[in-house]
Amino acid sequence: MLKGDQQLPALALRALLYEVSVTPKPGLVDPTDPGPHPDMTVFTFIDSAVSLQPYFEQCRQAGHDFEGADLRQLFQQIRPAGVQAEATMFAATRGVNTHKGAIFSLGILVAASAVVLRQAQPTIAAVFQTVKAMVRGLVHHDLGALNRQTAQAAGERQYLKYGQGGIRAEAGYPTVVNVGLPFLRERRGTINQRLLDTLLMIASHTSDSNLVKRAKPLRFYRGCKHRHSGTLT
């Protein structure tokens, strides 16, 4: 772990740049191929990532200063900054959605890390526990009252149709904690090879809303019923 939180915004930016640099990524933008995204290039992602660094600094500061007992309040505190960051991203990319999910996920992670780094013995496990506390009940809060008339985004429509919580359900990073990090730590080879292998491993263990849009609905629904039981919280 870091000794202080000053590096967190730069680390978040590095994560975004690493992600777009990994190649070859099937169905995703990389330095050699835009995949199914003719409106994007690697430079679109670079411009977007750089534009978000002030937002990550806001999240770091919010976590550093937070004194409350209910960590859900910290999430509500940074959420308006995330909305503004989306507008900043769209301005940088001329209307292209490059990092909407990352704004949500990395913003929470930066804020949670800043909270934990104030502790005497900060650990990665404590960061993920803090994230879980920040987003507790989020799927039900945001999506529980949806109907066909109020569902606007693709993820909201998928929740109604398939019961998938999308990025909100992954906000506690269960796939990262249980699959991605252990796998990455064991991999050998170049950074590109390790990150690409980890990406594919994560993709094989999660229901990505981008993939759902391209999947045959019946096949995806059967997969969901097989892999997921119970309710989303």
pLDDT digits (tens, 9 = 90+) for 153-210: 555 455 445 455 455 555 668 888 999 999 999 999 999 999 999 999 998 887 665 5
| For residues 15-33, average pLDDT | 94
Query: Is residue 99 a contact partner of residue 52, using CB atoms and an 8 Å limit?
Result: yes
Where does the pLDDT of residue 226 fall: very low under 50, low under 70, confident under 90, or very high at 90 and above? Answer: very low
The whole-number average pLDDT for the span 37-60 is 97
**Which range in 131-145, 188-202, 218-232 is most confidently predicted, on average pLDDT?**
188-202
User: Residue 56 carries which side chain, given as an amino acid letter?
Assistant: F
What is the reported pLDDT for 210?
59
Tokens 């019961």 appear where?
Answer: 163
**Domain assignment of residue 7, yes or no:** yes
| 50 in a structural domain | yes
Confidence of residue 3 (pLDDT cuts 50, 70, 90): low
Determine the pLDDT at residue 4: 80
Q: What's the average model confidence in pLDDT over 9-29?
A: 95
Cis peptide before 24, with omega less than 30 degrees from 0? Answer: yes
Q: What phi and psi values does residue 149 have, to the nearest 5 degrees?
A: -80, -35
Return the biggest CA–CA distance within the chain: 51
Write the CA distances from 115 to 57, 135, 174, 225, integer angstroms.
Answer: 13, 15, 20, 37
Asked if residue 12 belongs to a domain, the reply is: yes
93 falls within a domain: yes
pLDDT band, very low/low/confident/very high, at 75 (cuts 50, 70, 90): very high
Residue 175 lies in a domain: no
Which of the pair, 123 or 227, is modelled with greater confidence? 123
Residue 152 is assigned to a structural domain of this protein: no
- The amino acid sitting at 136 is R
Cα 185 off chain centre by: 20
Give me 145's structure tokens: 């009252």
Provide the number of structural domains found in the chain: 1
Is there a domain that residue 219 lies in?
Answer: no
Does 119 fall in a domain? yes
| Structural domain containing residue 103 | 1-129
Q: What is the pTM of this model?
A: 0.79
